[in-house]
Structure 1
Amino acid sequence: MKEKRRMISEAARQLGLETYNLRTWEEEFSLTIPRNEKGYRYYGEKEIRTFEQIRDLKNAGLDSEEIKQKLSGNIIPFPAGKQINTSEKMKEFQKVLVKIMGQAILEQKDYIADQISSKVSDRVAKEVDYQFRLRESEEEQRFKKLDEMIRNQQKAREEIAASRERRHFFKRKRKEK
């Protein structure tokens, strides 16, 4: 059974894209699209699946580098025939690790957020409790001083009143003589 071949306009219509998208992605992702005898591109099932995958990954928000990795099966292609020094390999390896870690963090972000939130909430609650107890202690000391001042003032008034009574008492006795 012969595979169905589509011209670029038919393939773009089937994918819900414009023809320029297919040409751009062909160049951007170094895709090899077969051509007919006249040199026109034609798209078989394999090419359609590849473009569907690219479209879906783009819609998911991945950038071109991430899409290239997905298309190549996460293999980092090193230039053929060139000797690559260790530092370049390490840089490429670091890029891969950063992307893997980023993806892992994204996948675990809800769990991480819950854990951080829980710990922060506990710490904030403890700090609020500590501040509240500290404030209560300060207020207690202030009220004690205020009570002491009021008592001293009442005592002073009582002493003043008592001394006035004594004066009046002695003045009366002198007048009576």
Structure 2
Amino acid sequence: MAKNIVIELTDGRVMNAELYPELAPISVSNFIDLIKNNFFDNLIFHRIIEGFVIQGGGMYENMEEKEKLKTIKGEFEANGWDKNKNLSHVSGVLSMARTPAYDSATSQFFICVGDASFLDGQYASFGRLIDKDSIDIALKIASEKKDSNDKPLNPIIIKTIKEA
């Protein structure tokens, strides 16, 4: 059964999403634990690429990385996960970010803002934005002016993420 969450930004915007524990139980459990511990409070979307993704969940506004956490198993086909349990990486889908190591995801996540289906089978998709307003907010974030490292010039700060 889907779990509803709300991503609140400090500027008052809100994105509503569903997480799917039946598809990615480890990723969803990890994400919910982080929410319950207010881990995401005051972190930023530190990487935005129009037509691709907005990424957050690990950096403060000054680009200082929040403390490292335990890593989790990557729930995707290339890592032995059932390919039928992955959402395609299309606009609105939430997925865990990771290093090149398959089992390296911690807290960073991304929201697709375009067709990124080439990521299918390589990253653990675990949820999606559930309404047009939320997708529009993600698209607007992706279109912000950014520096050469894809960091928004005007910080997009997560006030909190909470269960709905």
Between 1 and 2, higher relative CO (CA 8 Å, sep ≥ 6) is seen in 2
More helix by share: 1
TM-score, length basis structure 1: 0.21
More strand by share: 2
Structure 1 or 2, whichever has the larger Rg, is 1
TM-score, length basis structure 2: 0.22
